[in-house]
Chains A and B, each alone.
Chain A
Amino acid sequence: GQQVMQIPQYQHVQEGEDFTTYCNSSTTLSNIQWYKQRPGGHPVFLIQLVKSGEVKKQKRLTFQFGEAKKNSSLHITATQTTDVGTYFCTSGTYKYIFGTGTRLKVLA
């Protein structure tokens, strides 16, 4: 079945450093959504990408969808302690496959 691999599993960064998490699929994805889950919380929608090569920005966050629609990345510039949490990618329209998540810790 379809799988979405997400790397890295964990990332510790110093506050102010950049952070990137990647999602990769062996099959073409119709879309990619990104969610953030704070420690002890529930996933919260960040953004959706649907077009090949699409790039979207939200303040310090940059999201990309690969040209072949098989991979995606989330890049955070100059991390802050408020960025702490686990970031998930997912794809689907009614059946959803989630990546395993990247847990980000930001050291002040």
Chain B
Amino acid sequence: EAQVTQNPRYLITVTGKKLTVTCSQNMNHEYMSWYRQDPGLGLRQIYYSMNVEVTDKGDVPEGYKVSRKEKRNFPLILESPSPNQTSLYFCASSFRAGRAYEQYFGPGTRLTVT
């Protein structure tokens, strides 16, 4: 089954404790992206990747890191989480970057930073 998976689905952590949220897709997609969703603000793009080893900032990259060493994986790293990073995070992928391609979203990771 074609899908985007994220782990963990739920995470409660403390300020400053490094964490990684994994994202994996099995559709051989070139493009992957991370979003955060906050009430009243919709989805905001954190980082995206056009292909392996090619990443760039979205609208809200501060406090986050990403890497794309393999085509299928696009982990999101919070080196020193803060309470304002409490949010619902979605990973998404599409065949490639470009206006013709829909994005497939993962199930989401609900992160709480205390």
Contact = CB atoms under 8 A, between A and B. Distances in A.
A31 B99 contact: yes
Interface string A1-28: 1000010010000000000000000000
A1 B90 CA distance: 22
Nearest to B104: A45
A44 interface: yes
A90 B43 contact: yes
A101 interface: yes
B81 interface: no
Interface size class of B (residues with CB under 8 A): 20 to 34
B44 interface: yes
Interface in B94-114: 97-100, 102-108
Between A35, A90, A94, the greatest number of chain B beta carbons within 10 A of the residue's beta carbon is seen for: A94
B105 A48 contact: no
B42 A100 contact: yes
Interface in B52-81: 56, 58-59
A43 B90 contact: yes
Given A95-B45, A100-B40, A100-B41, A42 B108 contact: yes
Between A1, A6, A33, the greatest number of chain B beta carbons within 10 A of the residue's beta carbon is seen for: A33
Interface string A81-108: 0000000101011111111110000000
Interface in A25-71: 30-31, 33, 35, 41-45, 48, 50
A30 B97 CA distance: 13
Given A43-B90, A88-B42, A98-B42, 15 more contacts: A31-B99, A33-B102, A42-B107, A42-B108, A43-B103, A44-B105, A48-B100, A94-B50, A95-B56, A96-B33, A96-B43, A96-B58, A97-B45, A98-B35, A100-B42
